[in-house]
Chains A and B, each alone.
Chain A
Amino acid sequence: MQPSRSTRIALLIYGIVTIVVLYLPLISVGFASISQARYLSFPIKRYSTKWYAEALQSDTVRDLLTTSLKVAVIVTVISVAAAFFGALAFARYHWKFRTLFQKLILLPIFFPQTVLGLALLMWFNAVGVIPTWKTAVVAHLVWIAPIATLIVAIRAYSFDPALEEAARDMGAGTLTILREITLPLLMPGLVSAGLFAFLLSWGNFPLSLFTTGADSTLPEWLYAKMVSGYSPLVPTLGVMSVVGSFLVIMVAFTVTWLVRAMRESRTAMD
């Protein structure tokens, strides 16, 4: 039962409008970042890149970028490691507490992140840990490690356990199986989980808000400025944050593509 031609066209237009509306606010931010005036007003009269120059020279901005980067990298590494094993427990092995484990992983994702941040702040206080960027890593992990696990789990669902059983029948130990069979099979899932983990941590502010102590991440600084009043650096740093994410996505795609191309040329040579 195929829908009529006009329905298909209407749906397609709807889809395109959706994409435009999704990205419209970023276009405004982009224009605002190259407006010369201190107080923004459209239509923009004079364009200039001076806010970018100012941002690049500022020590504050450098600190914000390093903190955000440090947090995102560490969160990515730990999330991917936890997600590899977590996904096996979630999807592959049929063990006693599997359904309970699945629910435990879903709960933090449903949780309001600001409240989670505050709860962690009280917990750190109760156990006597002073919040720094390191505690923000912990806060990000609570939310991002479960998401990474779900992404790897989707991949783990689609793999055939017979492969592992065959290896076991031929005398391979659990560690050998994990290294030689499971890891390569889950690799695409691990790469996308890593990408998600990095980008979600890089852009997150509700979890950082109360858990970074004296340190501050880029999105957290932006939020503070937005709530307290306009600064011409807000759109500029906003664009820089977005450009950062897109660079990471581009690098990830290029590397994946190169690896695949190399592997294909190797099999072609054999």
Chain B
Amino acid sequence: MERLDNRLGFFSAVPLGLILLLSFLAPLVVVALFSIMPQKVFSLANMPDFSAYSVFFAQGYYRSLLWALGMAFAASLVLFVLCWPLAYGMAKVFGRFSLVLTIAVVMSLFVSENIRLFGWVLTLMKGGLFEGYIRAWTGTGFESPLYNTGIIIFGLVYVYFPFMLFPLAQGISMVPDDTRQAAADLGATRWQILRHVDLPLAAPGIVVGTLLTFVLGAGALAESKILGGQAVIVIADDIETAFTFGQNWPLGSALSMILILIIGGLALFGVNRVDLDAIMGRKR
């Protein structure tokens, strides 16, 4: 049986494995090779000189990396606080309403994120849905909150909301009710139950949710472009510019490599700490 399982497993992995080998791993190798080429070349047939990496420090690209990481971190924190009560409700309180909420949140994912962000521009801009009606009713408007760091973090929170909510809800549903009951019977306060029962037992969901939102937020581009109006340049923006206007593939590749290493390291760290089979509902 074991040998058969081995053979069947291998053969069923082939189609997807080939897709990822040819269109995920191979391009990554190309990026890595381009990143060590001399600047502004378009072919790999050059002597590598690693000059693109020195530019990262010399020309201040590390600043846009720090901005991206900082805003992603802030967004993950806000999301954790916002989603925890709701995830708790979905896992333990809502009953039928959980399904309604799940469907509503999943459906919103199917709308292109640029359309949803553009909708926020229309809602928040001067003469937009909020300001326009308030001015029409009260006579005084207000300055638009668009085009600054705060609104970019808001955009990240809005777009990546489902990626925190669902893992958290899954994590909280793994906390046995008996354990919470026992803690309460022994005289634990609500705060103590949260600290010593809920948070540790829901940890896999917390790890997955926080990592997902942080990693996706760090590489995000549309939020800062559409809502932020270039108030802050993030690393994904620099990468895009290097490839398009800059026509400097090695620089773009080097910046990509730095982002990939940070994100890939975090993702592997998280994936290694979580038992996938348990989270996804293994029966055996």
Taking Cβ atoms with an 8 Å cutoff, the residues of A that contact B are: 1, 3, 7-8, 11-12, 14-15, 18-19, 21-29, 31-32, 40-43, 78, 81-83, 85-86, 88-89, 91, 93-98, 101-108, 110-116, 118-123, 125-126, 138-139, 141-142, 145-146, 149-150, 153-154, 157-158, 160-161, 165, 174, 199-200, 202-206, 210, 219, 222-223, 226-227, 234-235, 238, 241-242, 245-246, 249
Contact = CB atoms under 8 A, between A and B. Distances in A.
Interface in B222-247: 222, 225-226, 236, 239-240, 243
B114 A226 contact: yes
B221 A95 contact: no
Given A15-B94, A24-B123, A32-B122, A88 B8 contact: yes
A107 B25 CA distance: 10
B20 interface: yes
A114 B24 CA distance: 13
Given A114-B236, A139-B23, A119 B86 contact: no
15 contacts: A40-B122, A42-B127, A85-B11, A85-B14, A85-B15, A86-B12, A86-B13, A118-B239, A119-B256, A126-B30, A150-B280, A206-B221, A219-B112, A222-B114, A246-B107
B115 A238 contact: yes
Given A118-B252, A203-B113, 19 more contacts: A14-B85, A15-B94, A25-B117, A41-B127, A85-B16, A86-B13, A95-B10, A106-B267, A106-B271, A108-B20, A110-B215, A111-B219, A111-B263, A122-B34, A139-B23, A149-B16, A150-B280, A165-B1, A235-B118
A223 B116 CA distance: 11
Contacts of B10: 89, 95-97
B219 A114 contact: yes
Given A15-B86, A42-B128, A219 B115 contact: yes
A72 to B, nearest CB: 11
Contacts of B42: 125
B2 A42 contact: no
B115 A222 contact: yes
Interface string B183-206: 010000000000000000000000
B277 interface: yes
Contacts of A19: 101, 104-105
A174 B12 CA distance: 12
B30 A119 contact: yes
Nearest to B267: A110
Contacts of B60: none
Contact of B112 (A12, A125, A203, A210): A203
Given A1-B181, A115-B219, A110 B30 contact: no
Contact of A107 (B16, B24, B30): B24
The 5 tightest CB contacts between A and B, nearest first, are A112-B219, A25-B119, A95-B9, A42-B132, A93-B9
Contacts of B212: 110
Contact of B136 (A28, A43, A174, A227): A43
Contacts of A26: 111, 115-116, 119
A105 B243 contact: no
A14 B83 CA distance: 10
Interface of chain A: mostly helix, strand, loop or mixed: helix
B20 A146 contact: yes
A42 B19 CA distance: 48
B115 A23 contact: no
B: contact size bracket: 35 or more
Interface centre among A112, A113, A126 (most CB of B within 10 A): A112
Given A12-B97, A115-B236, A123-B30, A93 B136 contact: no
Contact of A3 (B93, B101, B136): B93
A227 B133 contact: no
B222 to A, nearest CB: 7
B108 A22 contact: yes
Contacts of B7: 95
A94 B2 contact: yes
Contacts of B30: 119, 122-123, 126
A122 B249 contact: yes
Contacts of B108: 22-23
Contacts of B222: 205-206, 223
Contacts of A141: 19, 23
A1 B123 contact: no
Given A25-B116, A106-B271, A115-B256, A11 B236 contact: no
Contacts of B6: 93, 95-96
B280 A153 contact: yes
B115 A142 contact: no
Contact of A157 (B104, B127, B221, B283): B283
A93 B8 CA distance: 7
Given A18-B86, A88-B9, A142 B239 contact: no
Given A86-B13, A157-B282, A138 B110 contact: no
B177 interface: yes
B75 interface: no
